[in-house]
Amino acid sequence: MFQFWHDAAMLAIESQRVIALRMMRLAGGGRNARVETSRMMTEKISASMIAAGTLLGGGSGHVVMAQVRKRVRANSRRLSRS
SS3 content of the chain, % helix, strand, coil (to 5): 90, 0, 10
Q: What is the pLDDT of residues 6-24, one digit of tens each?
A: 999 999 999 999 999 999 9
Rounded to an integer, what distance in angstroms lies between the CA atom of residue 75 and that of residue 1?
Answer: 27
Domain coordinates in residue numbering, the chain: 28-77
The per-residue pLDDT for 80 is 94
The per-residue pLDDT for 69 is 95
**Residue among 41, 25, 26, 28 at smallest CA distance from 79:** 25
pTM of the complete model: 0.85
Specify the 3-state DSSP secondary structure of 62.
helix
Q: What is the pLDDT of residues 12-65, one digit of tens each?
A: 999 999 999 999 999 999 999 999 999 999 999 999 999 999 999 999 999 999
* Burial class of residue 72 (count of CB atoms within 10 Å of its CB; 0-12, 13-18, 19+): buried
